[in-house]
Chain A
Amino acid sequence: MLLKGGTVLDPAAGRSERLDIEIRDGRIARIGSDLNADIQTYDCDGRFISPGWMDMHVHLREPGFEYKETIETGCSAAAFGGFTAVACMPNTDPPIHTRDVVEFVIERAEQTAVDVYPIACVSKGREGKELAEMGDLADGGAVAFSDDGSPVQDAGLMRRALEYSSMLEMPIINHMEDLGLNPHGHMHEGSVSTRLGVPGIPGLAEEVMIARDILIAGFTGGAIHVAHISTADGVELVRRAKEDGINITAEVCTHHFALTDEEVERTGFSTNTKMHPPLRTQTDVDAMKEGLRDGTIDAICTDHAPHASFEKEVEFAAAPFGIIGLETAWGITGREIVDAGVLSVEEAVHKLCVSPRTILNLDVPVIRQGAAANLTIFDATTRWTFEARHIRSKSKNTPFVGREMVGRAWAVYNRGYFVQAEV
Chain B
Amino acid sequence: MISEETTMVAERDDDTTLRRRHMLGLADYDRDEIELVLSTAREFREVLHRPIKRVPTLRDVTVVNLFFESSTRTRISFELAEKRLSADTVNFSASGSSVSKGETLKDTARNIEAMKIDMVVIRHRSPGAAQFLTSCVEAVVINAGDGAHEHPTQGLLDMLTMSDLFESFEGLNVSIIGDIAHSRVARSNIFGLNALGANVTVCGPQTMLPRGIEQLGVRATNRLDEALEGCDVAMALRIQLERQGVGLFPSLREYHTRFGIGLQHLERYKDLIIMHPGPVNRGVELASEVVDHERAVILNQVTNGVAVRMAVLYLLAAGVRSE
Interface residues of A, Cβ cutoff 8 Å to B: 183, 186, 189-191, 193-200, 265-269, 310, 313-318
In the complex, which residues of chain B have a beta carbon less than 8 angstroms from the beta carbon of A198? 127-128, 147-149
8 Å CB contacts to A: which residues of B103-153?
104-106, 124-129, 131-132, 146-150
Sample of 7 more A-B contacts, CB < 8 Å, known A197-B148, A267-B2, A268-B128 = A190-B211, A194-B210, A194-B215, A197-B147, A198-B149, A316-B132, A317-B127
In the complex, which residues of chain A have a beta carbon less than 8 angstroms from the beta carbon of B150? 197
Question: Shortest beta-carbon distance, B207 to chain A, in Å?
Answer: 13
Contact across chains for B148 and A268 when beta carbons are under 8 A apart: no
Q: Give the complex CA separation of A156 and B106 in angstroms.
A: 44
* 29 A–B contacts, CB within 8 A, in A order: A183-B246, A190-B211, A191-B211, A191-B212, A193-B211, A194-B181, A194-B216, A195-B27, A195-B216, A196-B127, A197-B127, A197-B150, A197-B184, A198-B127, A198-B148, A265-B2, A266-B2, A267-B1, A269-B127, A313-B106, A314-B104, A314-B132, A315-B124, A315-B126, A315-B129, A315-B132, A317-B126, A317-B127, A318-B104
- Complex partner residue of A196 from B1, B4, B106, B128, CB under 8 angstroms: B128
Residue of B nearest to A266 (CB): B2
- Complex partner residue of B127 from A183, A190, A313, A316, CB under 8 angstroms: A316
From B1, B105, B132, B187, name the one whose CB has the most chain A CB atoms within 10 angstroms: B132
Which size class do B's interface residues fall under?
Answer: 20 to 34
- Complex partner residue of A269 from B106, B128, B213, CB under 8 angstroms: B128
Decide: A315 near B105, CB < 8 A? Known: A197-B184, A197-B187.
yes
From A183, A199, A266, A315, name the one whose CB has the most chain B CB atoms within 10 angstroms: A315
Contact across chains for A193 and B210 when beta carbons are under 8 A apart: yes
Q: Give the complex CA separation of A193 and B125 in angstroms.
A: 15
Question: Shortest beta-carbon distance, A317 to chain B, in Å?
Answer: 4
Contact across chains for B216 and A268 when beta carbons are under 8 A apart: no
Residue of B nearest to A271 (CB): B132
Q: Give the complex CA separation of A194 and B183 in angstroms.
A: 10
Contact across chains for A310 and B104 when beta carbons are under 8 A apart: yes
8 Å CB contacts to A: which residues of B210-247?
210-213, 215-216, 246
Question: Shortest beta-carbon distance, B188 to chain A, in Å?
Answer: 10
In the assembled complex, B88 has its CB within 8 A of some CB on chain A: no
Which 9 pairs between the two chains have the least Cβ-Cβ distance?
A: A269-B128, A191-B212, A197-B148, A317-B126, A197-B149, A315-B126, A194-B210, A315-B129, A191-B215
In the complex, which residues of chain B have a beta carbon less than 8 angstroms from the beta carbon of A318? 104-105, 126
Interface residues of B, Cβ cutoff 8 Å to A: 1-2, 4-5, 27, 104-106, 124-129, 131-132, 146-150, 181-182, 184, 187, 210-213, 215-216, 246
In the complex, which residues of chain B have a beta carbon less than 8 angstroms from the beta carbon of A200? 210-211
Q: Give the complex CA separation of A124 and B292 in angstroms.
A: 60
In the complex, which residues of chain B have a beta carbon less than 8 angstroms from the beta carbon of A267? 1-2
Q: Give the complex CA separation of A108 and B74 in angstroms.
A: 55
Q: Give the complex CA separation of A419 and B1 in angstroms.
A: 36
Contact across chains for B127 and A268 when beta carbons are under 8 A apart: no
In the complex, which residues of chain B have a beta carbon less than 8 angstroms from the beta carbon of A190? 211-212
Q: Give the complex CA separation of A190 and B212 in angstroms.
A: 6
Q: Give the complex CA separation of A422 and B205 in angstroms.
A: 58
Contact across chains for B147 and A314 when beta carbons are under 8 A apart: no
Q: Give the complex CA separation of A190 and B213 in angstroms.
A: 9
Q: Give the complex CA separation of A196 and B131 in angstroms.
A: 12
Contact across chains for A314 and B187 when beta carbons are under 8 A apart: no
Contact across chains for B132 and A269 when beta carbons are under 8 A apart: yes
In the complex, which residues of chain A have a beta carbon less than 8 angstroms from the beta carbon of B181? 194
Residue of A nearest to B133 (CB): A315
Q: Give the complex CA separation of A141 and B47 in angstroms.
A: 77
In the complex, which residues of chain B have a beta carbon less than 8 angstroms from the beta carbon of A191? 211-212, 215
Decide: A268 near B5, CB < 8 A? Known: A197-B149, A318-B126.
yes
Residue of A nearest to B183 (CB): A197
In the complex, which residues of chain A have a beta carbon less than 8 angstroms from the beta carbon of B5? 268
Contact across chains for A269 and B131 when beta carbons are under 8 A apart: yes
From A194, A198, A200, A265, name the one whose CB has the most chain B CB atoms within 10 angstroms: A194
Question: Shortest beta-carbon distance, A140 to chain B, in Å?
Answer: 37
In the complex, which residues of chain B have a beta carbon less than 8 angstroms from the beta carbon of A317? 125-127, 129, 147
